[in-house]
Chain A
Amino acid sequence: MRISDYIEVAGSNLWKRKLRTILTTVGVVIGIGALVCMFAFGQGVQRNITDQFNKVDVLNNIVVSPPRQDGRRRLRDSDDPDDSARAAGPVAVADANGATRAKLDARFLEEARKIPGVETVFPELRFPAQIRVGAKERFTLVQVLSADICRSGSMPMRAGRCYDANEPNALMVSETFVHRLGIGGPQDAIGREVEVVTLSLDFGLRSLMRMAFPQEGKMGLPVARSSYRFKIVGVAERMPFGGMSDAYVQPEAADGMRKLAFTNIWDLYQEPGEGANYSSVTVKAKSPADVPAIKKELESRGYNTFTLMDQFDQMRIGFLIMDMFLLAVGMIGITVASLGIVNTMVMSILERYREIGIMKAVGATDGDVQRIFLFESGAIGLLGGMFGLALAGSVAFVINEVINAIMVRQHAPRMAYFSFPWWLCLGAILFSVLVSLLAGLYPTGRAARVDPVVALRHD
């Protein structure tokens, strides 16, 4: 028999028993609809969460910190040839005890940029500064923070917004700092011009003279003051990142400022010429897929790393459990629907017992007979899968509208709570056909084994 014949015969047989075909198919439609709805909801939730992470790009970030001071994470023994090679590299420096210690310095930035998959590397840097608004002047640590980190959502804003990468003179401050400056409320701070005065080491002649001959009680350190103008664009709700800083500028702005860069007291002891050490450095991968390899590479060089990706992996296990649960619930419908198919096929075969005998008498093989009936149950599955998908889409649409109507009233953003990726749509239809074929196996197997002599005598 030709495939087209199987399809035609199955189609015409199903059409002849419309009511039964429709009822059986509706069972499959509901089963597949429920399953797909469950799955689409699970996918929607996961997609929304993943999108939040991806939108702000933080999944690409690896925060690198130096090994602990007690040397617990120092490089492995240098009798390992690989490690000794690395130890001789530019980023590992032998400290006073002779143990090697990985450092976060300018050379690290350079080295890290060379790791495959790295898009950019920027240090987390804090520097002391006086911030002046009108007559008031307050001392604080200014943190260098890139615009995309701010937009990652880790800085809830009380007023204003995160700065954009293209506005180098924008400044963000914390709400507490606004109070310290006595500006008034957070809203009043937005758009205010401020002066940021930094200190830097100055080994010029005048400053050295002043150090040698302190006058009128003024500080004798070789320090110079530089002043820069900024405009406040955002006020953060609280002090993020451990609450150590009250003001934030972009890396591009910070690069152009003369400043004393230090992150902890040890930095003051570093040897001249070694360059600045950073308390932490953010390594940004080109894509989340590159993160694990980069992380591994950095760790092999002796650094501590932290990635949201790790947290995200934990979450994915949660997703998987949720999927499994939804799947289990959805499978109930499918099981019931497949029993409906078994029933329908058994009935159909009993009704057409004699017809099966005729088929065999005129030369149908057992395989022909089984395939004719399998095409019928497969067709029920195909129709059920397609309409089930349509049902799931419709139900999802309605539920989505209802949830959004409620959520928008509570000032939550409009979202799609269901997701129908192409593999889910295709998979649902294939699954439906597969389940129907499996359900048809027993009854069609019986049809194939019908004894024509008995069937032809059958009334």
Chain B
Amino acid sequence: MSDDGFIETAGLSKVYAFGEVEVAALRDVTLSIPRGRLVGITGASGSGKSTLMNLLGGLDTPSAGTIRVDGRLISDLNKRELALYRRDTIGMIFQSFNLVGAYTALENVAFPLLFAGVAKKRRRERAAEILKAVGLEGRMHHRPTELSGGEQQRVAIARALVNEPRILLADEPTGNLDSKTSRQIMEILADLNRSRGLTLIMISHEQALLREFSNEVISLQDGAVVTREALR
């Protein structure tokens, strides 16, 4: 499998049924994303960005079409296989951070390792390592409420990295942050993409920031790809 088609979708569609009414959130999306790229996705709200992200992340299953990651047909996996795919291949970052409020930063980062069956001591070591890498070695034992937005998002990034995924999916990672912090987070993510060779797909409203860091920007409208813009 060539790098050209590390992540491939073909005819990807998602239809939500609200009673009798069916709403197509995604229509016939065919994409090919090479390994190690940073791809920005933009579009108005309701354009299907998040739906695409959830499908790529294995949180949801398509109504039609296929998803392949590194040649593997993700759209055919059962629930358990999808869970393992999320655990081993994907790291997800959300606008609202989605940290567990009752856990410390360290516990939040170690959380995914629990489901990978890693021993407790190793979990903590590994989480501490990664928190250090995102510059939070002094905040490990703080709970999310005791951290700033930027710190929380860095904890979330550390958590996404802890299982050493090959793909990072970031859904509006800077949506809740001020512009200075947004830039810091973007820099961390771009650095991960460069230094670790992670394939990074990022949704953002912030066109300027997205264009500054992305290799390519895909625009969605009404669930369909309208433009693909290669930047570098």
* Residue of B59, B84, B119 most packed against chain A (CB within 10 A): B59
B83 within 8 A of partner (CB): yes
Type the 1/0 row for A354-371, where 1 means its CB is closer than 8 Å to any CB of B.
110111111111111000
A411 within 8 A of partner (CB): no
- Whole-angstrom distance from the CB of A360 to the nearest CB of chain B? 7
Residue in A8, A16, A362, A365 whose beta carbon sits within 8 Å of that of B120 in the complex = A8
Knowing A452-B59, A456-B94, say if A362 contacts B117 (CB, 8 Å): no
A5 within 8 A of partner (CB): yes
B88 within 8 A of partner (CB): yes
Identify which of B5-13, B39-47, B107-115 touches chain A: B107-115
* Residue of B80, B98, B117, B120 most packed against chain A (CB within 10 A): B98
B60 within 8 A of partner (CB): yes
Do A360 and B83 touch across chains, with their CB atoms under 8 A apart? yes
CA distance A368 to B111 in the complex (A): 13
Interface residues in A196-216 (C-beta closer than 8 Å to B): none
In chain A, what residue has the closest Cβ to B163? A363
- Whole-angstrom distance from the CB of B9 to the nearest CB of chain A? 17
A2 within 8 A of partner (CB): yes
In chain A, what residue has the closest Cβ to B85? A363
Type the 1/0 row for B44-75, where 1 means its CB is closer than 8 Å to any CB of A.
00000000001001011000000000000000
A453 within 8 A of partner (CB): yes
A1 within 8 A of partner (CB): yes
Do A453 and B86 touch across chains, with their CB atoms under 8 A apart? no
Q: Size range of the interface on A? A: 20 to 34
- Whole-angstrom distance from the CB of B26 to the nearest CB of chain A? 13
- Whole-angstrom distance from the CB of A94 to the nearest CB of chain B? 82
Do B119 and A359 touch across chains, with their CB atoms under 8 A apart? no
B102 within 8 A of partner (CB): yes
B37 within 8 A of partner (CB): no
In chain A, what residue has the closest Cβ to B111? A362
- Residues of A near B60 (CB, < 8 A) are 453
- Whole-angstrom distance from the CB of B77 to the nearest CB of chain A? 12
- Residues of A near B88 (CB, < 8 A) are 363
- Whole-angstrom distance from the CB of B1 to the nearest CB of chain A? 24
Do A365 and B114 touch across chains, with their CB atoms under 8 A apart? no
CA distance A149 to B120 in the complex (A): 68
Knowing A452-B59, A453-B54, say if A364 contacts B83 (CB, 8 Å): yes
Knowing A358-B98, A363-B163, say if A9 contacts B80 (CB, 8 Å): no
CA distance A4 to B118 in the complex (A): 11
- Residues of B near A368 (CB, < 8 A) are 83, 115
Do B59 and A360 touch across chains, with their CB atoms under 8 A apart? yes
In chain B, what residue has the closest Cβ to A2? B117
- Residues of B near A358 (CB, < 8 A) are 98-100, 111
Do A1 and B114 touch across chains, with their CB atoms under 8 A apart? yes
- Whole-angstrom distance from the CB of A352 to the nearest CB of chain B? 9
- Residues of A near B116 (CB, < 8 A) are 363
Do B57 and A1 touch across chains, with their CB atoms under 8 A apart? no
CA distance A456 to B93 in the complex (A): 11
Do B119 and A362 touch across chains, with their CB atoms under 8 A apart? no
Do B114 and A9 touch across chains, with their CB atoms under 8 A apart? yes
Do A5 and B120 touch across chains, with their CB atoms under 8 A apart? yes
CA distance A237 to B119 in the complex (A): 77
In chain A, what residue has the closest Cβ to B53? A453
Do B57 and A361 touch across chains, with their CB atoms under 8 A apart? yes
Knowing A368-B115, A452-B59, A453-B54, say if A362 contacts B86 (CB, 8 Å): yes
CA distance A8 to B114 in the complex (A): 11
CA distance A411 to B94 in the complex (A): 79
Do B115 and A364 touch across chains, with their CB atoms under 8 A apart? yes
- Residues of B near A2 (CB, < 8 A) are 117, 119
Interface residues in A1-35 (C-beta closer than 8 Å to B): 1-2, 4-5, 8-9, 16
- Whole-angstrom distance from the CB of B78 to the nearest CB of chain A? 10
Interface residues in A432-459 (C-beta closer than 8 Å to B): 452-453, 456
Do A354 and B98 touch across chains, with their CB atoms under 8 A apart? yes
- Whole-angstrom distance from the CB of B98 to the nearest CB of chain A? 5
Do A366 and B115 touch across chains, with their CB atoms under 8 A apart? no
Please list 22 pairs of residues, one from A and one from B, whose beta carbons are closer than 8 Å in the complex, sorted by A's number: A1-B114, A4-B120, A5-B120, A8-B120, A358-B99, A358-B111, A359-B111, A360-B86, A361-B98, A363-B83, A363-B84, A364-B115, A365-B80, A365-B84, A365-B115, A366-B79, A366-B80, A366-B83, A367-B80, A368-B115, A453-B60, A456-B94
